[in-house]
Amino acid sequence: MEFIWELLKSVIYGIVQGITEWLPISSTGHLILMTEFMPLHVFSDPASNQAFWDMYKVVIQFGSILAVLVLFWNRLWPFREGNSPKKQNYIMRLWFMVVVGCIPAGILGLLFEDLIDSVLNASWVIGLTLIIYGVLFIWMENKERKYRITATGHITIKDALGVGIFQALALIPGTSRSGSTILGATLLGFNRKTAAEYSFFLAIPVMFGASALKIVKYVIKGAELTGGSFVILMVGFAISFFVSIAVIRKLMEYIRNHDFKIFGIYRIALGILVLLLSLIGVI
């Protein structure tokens, strides 16, 4: 019965991950908060359980990455049959801009990973970043601006690095990787559709690298992975994948006719709740 309950938790975690990874509301922040009220207890030993959780939350993010690859495969694979040399060059250039955009977060992530995991996961940090970026989203949508980048092919190296710096800010829990990159891209002149697409594409190398690094560290440490824990891990991964596909499709439909203010309001409300719960010692 205990295994079934942990399996059900993994399903819920996968759903939350699949929804929040692509909406600008912070997937990591939501997962960290969920552990306060519904933590996974896969191992009886606290150290083994913590090691499993550190890997689990990154692996289910990898499920979200695969959703992007599946949905945008024709846009991302240059050597697909039927692609002209011009189309291949276009896609290769897009990948180059994705790699450039990942440089800031990649460097800072490697340098400060332990600090982020040990210090910045505090609930008050999550609450503050939720509120700050919520206010920024509302401010951004009320600000008049001109869109100079209406397709991923218009992105320059300078644009990619600019968005990459915003993505690096998302290393702080509660910020939201998609939220930070969409906000940064929009402020730099991307229209909403291009900002969202580029944000999705930037997630591929960043999250793939983070997943691989966590798994390697987990294996090197000789951490335990039983049959039951493997099933729990794979269930969260699969649920995250399928939910992400649905959410990405709906989000792209939504932003054709709507702005991001609703996400800003949600972030502010959730951030206030987190700070109150932190203040009274609940989390």
| DSSP secondary structure, 151-185, as one string | SGGG--HHHHHHHHHHHHHTTSTTS-HHHHHHHHH
Q: Can you give the pLDDT at residue 223?
A: 64
pLDDT class of 222 with cuts at 50, 70, 90:
low
Q: Give the residue, 207 or 23, on which the prediction is more confident.
A: 23
Domain that holds residue 112: 2-279
**146 within 8 A of 188, measured Cβ to Cβ:** no
pLDDT at 46 over 90: no
pTM of the model: 0.87
Q: What percent of the chain has pLDDT over 70?
A: 96
How far is the C-alpha of 22 from the C-alpha of 74, rounded, in Å? Answer: 20
Average pLDDT of span 173-200? 91
How many domains in the chain?
1
How far is the C-alpha of 266 from the C-alpha of 262, rounded, in Å? Answer: 6
pLDDT tens track for 85-133: 999 999 999 999 999 999 998 888 778 777 776 667 788 888 999 999 9
- What one-character DSSP code corresponds to residue 38? S
pLDDT at 237 over 90: yes
Counting every residue written for the chain, the total comes to: 283
Q: Which two tokens stand for residue 244?
A: 């992400």
Outline where DSSP puts E strands in the chain: none
